[in-house]
A and B are shown apart, each in its own frame.
Chain A
Amino acid sequence: MSVRDDVSARLPGGDAGLIVAVLLVIYAAYVLIGVGLGYSLRGQLNTIAVLTFYIGVFAMLALALNLHWGYTGLFNIGIVGFMAVGIYVMALVSKPLYESGGAAQVGGLGLPLVVGIIAGMVAAALLGLVIALPALRLRADYLAIVTIAMSEIVRFSFLSGELQQFQLLGERVGFGGGSGLILDFTDPLEAFFGFFGLWDAYLGFVDSFEVLVPNNPKPVVDGLVYGVVLLFFVAAFYWLLKRTGESPFGRVLKAIREDEDVANSLGKNTNRFKIKAFMLGCALMGLAGILWLMTSGAVTPNFFRPRITFFVWIALIIGGAGSNTGSVLGGAVFAALLYQGPRYLKNLVDTVLPNADAPSGFGPAIAPLISNFDPAPLFFYTIDSIRQLQLVFMGLVLIWLMHNRPEGMLGYRKETAAGIPLTAARARGTAETDGGESGGGSDE
């Protein structure tokens, strides 16, 4: 660990500098490969927008999970359940009122997006409370099974016909059932800029991109700007969790993680701390779910399969549980290498060998290899099924990490419990002794 600590200490800006450096390396790699293959600028910008989007969502989810697992030691594997509740409740509140003849089968309450987002977060937090109240008494592995069962119950509920449409406050609303829910509220970016009265300015800004990207630059610019918005949210999550972690509240959480009995015997009502931390994390997961899906146009319950939960876990474990910086790095590395990387690789191979026909199944792929040692069909089948194989690869990475680096890149770094900086260099000139206020400032 000390080597890595040194790296982060030597970079300008400390942890924030480390994150920026890693992001720059990732972007540089993607851009260089794109340039090498002669991608158009539009394609390049699109790739960057998609990459930024996934870095953003996985970093946010990993940060929220870090509050649960890294700080408090709560083994939550029901992340998708909270995400689903977040976006569905947000849609229920913010979708426009039902009008017969429209594309959407059901309407919503027609309230502003901000209200919907807050309602979604509150709903996710309340679901967290419902789970936490009874389940926190249980062993870690029981909590795991209860949370994953809960996430499946949530998915089945949104799939069921009973909640497909119902009446609420006299309006025809619903969750759309298995066929999905159309998210026909105002475009989030429009709402965001419109709120500050900047929408026309934004459209002008988009038009100025005609020079770089001729023919309808709006989708590309929208994607990039939304990615930047997500990165701002990541920064906000990071700041919030850093403040939480360094507050007296956060110190109790870490004490609970290390030894709950000790924390209890020191007079802390550990259950209440755990419930609060759990609810905060759940609300953040709900927000991450909203941000992930609100620009996607529609949402189906089967998006929320447990595998996304495990993606977040892999991201957190890569980065290192217990470290906010690690969570962001883990989210970025996961999104760039494990999540988007293989898909990018497939595009790459498709560009290099454009006319290769992949066999439809494993049988036709392996037969030529056995009969006349022709590995090409198997290779093309492998490339074609990269979306499955990337999950195999993720599984292997997870096993490797647990064997060789269970603490991840930056996990469980020693964090001083003092409210003021103790190192000589930082202590110089810092005379505050008010506790807990100035410690986090230097890194932001």
Chain B
Amino acid sequence: MGIAETYTRGRQFAVARPGSVLLALVGIILLYDLLSGLATGQTSFSSVGSLVWDGLMRGLVIGLAGIGLSMTYSILNFANFAHGDFITAGAFSGWATTYLVAGLGRADVGALLLVGAGGSVFGGTLGIGVTGTPLAVVAGALVAGVATVVLSLGIDRLVFKPIRDEDGITLLITSVGVAFALRYLMQFVFGSSVRGTTSQPPSISLYFVDGVVRINAHDIALVVVAGGLMLAVHLLLQMTKLGKAMRAMADNEDLAQITGIPTERVVRSVWVIGGGLTGVAGYMFILWKGTLGFNDGWLLLLLIFAAVILGGIGSIYGAIVGGLAIGLTASVSVIWIPSAFARAAAFAVMIVLLLVKPEGIFSGRSTA
């Protein structure tokens, strides 16, 4: 094990995977830039800390919403472009419930159910927040999950089931149609205005080297809900027969069917689990973000795709890790590049990783 041998191996790696080497170089340069900025005091530790925390929160939303997409992608074999609008649908149904529970008797029922369309009711005036109206928030999150399950099962029955055996591209194009119909139907009903949904949540300031990082109650709520749900999905898929059946189906659907796995029932379970997580993710996204518009889910969708592909399609850990990576990229990249390009940076990371490692970080495992 001499120096020459190490050198030869290093050279072989560089020749075999030039992309990885280049990527590592770029990473080192960026890290050097960040460290020198921190050392000279141009960048403060606390601002980096705040960006990282923001990125982690964004990543949790993306990861939670990405699990459902990853499951349908691996088991039904298509990229579901309607997923973003499932998120929006979950958000609207959940927030209508929250407004109703929090504002019943204080405002017109119709205005509450339309989530204050046209500025008729404001979330801030109702004092909505996880500390102010905990019951309304819990009810909203539950309804968001249930409503999205019902919606995704209904759409599967009407739209996707009749063409289940078609190829992925046919299903993808169909899902674009579903996305259009859903999104603009929601715009028709709820209006196109972006409304504020929450009052200012209480927050604590953590001391961090040279400043403070603010963490508010909605961040905590997001961590608890997303963490809990991710753990629950992990246990469900690892411990139960359903999880095993899903893995079998993701691997080879025909083989799964002839070994007696009721594939249609598994598909329904996928929509139930995926839809529920998606709806709750949509609700928590709005709670964390504090504003709601009919385009929110669609705008998030491309980031979710990036996360799912980054993590490896079908892998739930991949979706979570990919979500965190994409969320962090979108938030932290503003240290180096203008903020207008933050979202572009997240896409660029996805494109680059697709080229370097097209099978994703958690490759080779499906739905586990």
Please list the residues of chain A having a beta carbon within 8 angstroms of any beta carbon in chain B: 75, 134-135, 137-138, 140-142, 144-146, 148-150, 152-153, 156-157, 159-162, 307, 310, 313, 317, 360-363, 366-367, 385, 388-389, 391-392, 394-399, 402-403, 406
Give B339-359 as 1s and 0s: 1 = Cβ < 8 Å from A's Cβ atoms.
011011001101100110010
Is B188 in the interface zone, CB < 8 Å from A? yes
Is B228 in the interface zone, CB < 8 Å from A? no
How far, in whole Å, are A391 and B85 apart by their CA atoms in the complex?
Answer: 14
Q: Which chain B residue has the least Cβ–Cβ distance from A140?
A: B169
Cross-chain contact A389 with B173 (CB below 8 angstroms): no
Cross-chain contact B191 with A392 (CB below 8 angstroms): no
Cross-chain contact B114 with A362 (CB below 8 angstroms): yes
Q: B173: which A residues are within 8 A, CB to CB?
A: 313, 317, 398, 402
Interface size class of B (residues with CB under 8 A): 35 or more
Is B37 in the interface zone, CB < 8 Å from A? no
Cross-chain contact A145 with B309 (CB below 8 angstroms): yes
Which of B78, B118, B174, B338 is within 8 Å of A361, CB to CB? B118
Is B117 in the interface zone, CB < 8 Å from A? yes
Cross-chain contact A162 with B338 (CB below 8 angstroms): yes
Which of A75, A146, A156 is within 8 Å of B354, CB to CB? A146
Listed A/B pairs (22) with beta-carbon separation below 8 Å:
A75-B169, A75-B172, A135-B354, A138-B354, A149-B347, A152-B302, A153-B348, A156-B343, A361-B191, A362-B114, A388-B192, A391-B183, A395-B184, A397-B177, A398-B173, A398-B176, A399-B174, A402-B163, A402-B174, A402-B177, A403-B162, A403-B174
Among B170, B179, B305, B351: residue with most chain A CB under 10 A: B351
Q: Which chain B residue has the least Cβ–Cβ distance from A400?
A: B177
A75-B172, A146-B354 are known; give 7 further A-B pairs, CB within 8 A. Answer: A134-B355, A138-B358, A385-B188, A388-B184, A395-B181, A398-B176, A398-B177
How far, in whole Å, are A75 and B187 apart by their CA atoms in the complex?
Answer: 28
Question: Which residues of chain B in 131-184 are interfacial with respect to chain A, using CB atoms and an 8 Å cutoff?
Answer: 159, 162-163, 166, 168-170, 172-174, 176-184
Cross-chain contact B169 with A360 (CB below 8 angstroms): no
Q: Give the shortest distance, in Å, between A148 (CB) and chain B (any CB).
A: 7
Q: Which chain B residue has the least Cβ–Cβ distance from A311?
A: B180
Q: A161: which B residues are within 8 A, CB to CB?
A: 338, 340
Cross-chain contact A310 with B176 (CB below 8 angstroms): yes
Cross-chain contact A362 with B174 (CB below 8 angstroms): no
Cross-chain contact B174 with A149 (CB below 8 angstroms): no
How far, in whole Å, are A380 and B243 apart by their CA atoms in the complex?
Answer: 50
How far, in whole Å, are A150 and B166 apart by their CA atoms in the complex?
Answer: 27
Which of B120, B184, B355 is within 8 Å of A389, CB to CB? B184
Cross-chain contact A152 with B191 (CB below 8 angstroms): no
Given A153-B344, A392-B181, do A141 and B78 touch, yes or no (CB 8 Å)?
A: yes
Cross-chain contact B110 with A363 (CB below 8 angstroms): yes
Is B79 in the interface zone, CB < 8 Å from A? yes
Q: B168: which A residues are within 8 A, CB to CB?
A: 140-141
Give B280-294 as 1s and 0s: 1 = Cβ < 8 Å from A's Cβ atoms.
000000000000000
How far, in whole Å, are A393 and B29 apart by their CA atoms in the complex?
Answer: 50
Given A142-B309, A149-B351, A162-B338, do A406 and B179 touch, yes or no (CB 8 Å)?
A: no
Q: Give the shortest distance, in Å, between B307 (CB) and chain A (any CB).
A: 11
How far, in whole Å, are A361 and B172 apart by their CA atoms in the complex?
Answer: 32
Q: Which chain B residue has the least Cβ–Cβ distance from A77?
A: B176
Q: A397: which B residues are within 8 A, CB to CB?
A: 177
Q: How many A-B residue pairs have CB under 8 A?
A: 139
Q: Give the shortest distance, in Å, between A426 (CB) and chain B (any CB).
A: 35
Q: Give the shortest distance, in Å, between A334 (CB) and chain B (any CB).
A: 14
How far, in whole Å, are A353 and B114 apart by their CA atoms in the complex?
Answer: 29
Q: A403: which B residues are within 8 A, CB to CB?
A: 159, 162-163, 174
Is B235 in the interface zone, CB < 8 Å from A? no
Cross-chain contact B341 with A148 (CB below 8 angstroms): no
How far, in whole Å, are A144 and B192 apart by their CA atoms in the complex?
Answer: 28
How far, in whole Å, are A214 and B79 apart by their CA atoms in the complex?
Answer: 55
Is B321 in the interface zone, CB < 8 Å from A? no
How far, in whole Å, are A107 and B252 apart by their CA atoms in the complex?
Answer: 59
Q: Which chain B residue has the least Cβ–Cβ distance from A177?
A: B340
How far, in whole Å, are A134 and B353 apart by their CA atoms in the complex?
Answer: 11
Given A141-B168, A160-B340, do A389 and B188 touch, yes or no (CB 8 Å)?
A: yes
Given A140-B168, A153-B348, do A160 and B341 touch, yes or no (CB 8 Å)?
A: yes
Is B189 in the interface zone, CB < 8 Å from A? yes
Cross-chain contact A395 with B354 (CB below 8 angstroms): no
Given A146-B354, A392-B188, do A399 and B111 touch, yes or no (CB 8 Å)?
A: no
How far, in whole Å, are A160 and B174 apart by their CA atoms in the complex?
Answer: 33
Q: B351: which A residues are within 8 A, CB to CB?
A: 134-135, 146, 149-150
Cross-chain contact A157 with B169 (CB below 8 angstroms): no
Cross-chain contact B188 with A157 (CB below 8 angstroms): no
Q: Give the shortest distance, in Å, between A93 (CB) and chain B (any CB).
A: 24
Cross-chain contact B358 with A157 (CB below 8 angstroms): no
Which of B169, B192, B348, B355 is within 8 Å of A141, CB to CB? B169
How far, in whole Å, are A388 and B182 apart by their CA atoms in the complex?
Answer: 11
Cross-chain contact B358 with A142 (CB below 8 angstroms): yes
Q: B118: which A residues are within 8 A, CB to CB?
A: 360-361, 363
Q: Which chain A residue has the least Cβ–Cβ distance from B155?
A: A399
Is B28 in the interface zone, CB < 8 Å from A? no
Is B45 in the interface zone, CB < 8 Å from A? no
Q: B183: which A residues are within 8 A, CB to CB?
A: 391
Q: Which chain A residue has the least Cβ–Cβ distance from B174?
A: A402
Cross-chain contact A144 with B172 (CB below 8 angstroms): yes
Is B185 in the interface zone, CB < 8 Å from A? yes
Q: Which chain B residue has the least Cβ–Cβ distance from A398?
A: B177
Q: A137: which B residues are within 8 A, CB to CB?
A: 358
Q: B111: which A residues are within 8 A, CB to CB?
A: 363
Q: Give the shortest distance, in Å, between A355 (CB) and chain B (any CB).
A: 23
Cross-chain contact B338 with A153 (CB below 8 angstroms): no
Is B60 in the interface zone, CB < 8 Å from A? no
Question: Which residues of chain B in 231-271 are interfacial with respect to chain A, using CB atoms and an 8 Å cutoff?
Answer: none
Question: Which residues of chain B in 314-368 are interfacial with respect to chain A, using CB atoms and an 8 Å cutoff?
Answer: 338, 340-341, 343-344, 347-348, 350-351, 354-355, 358
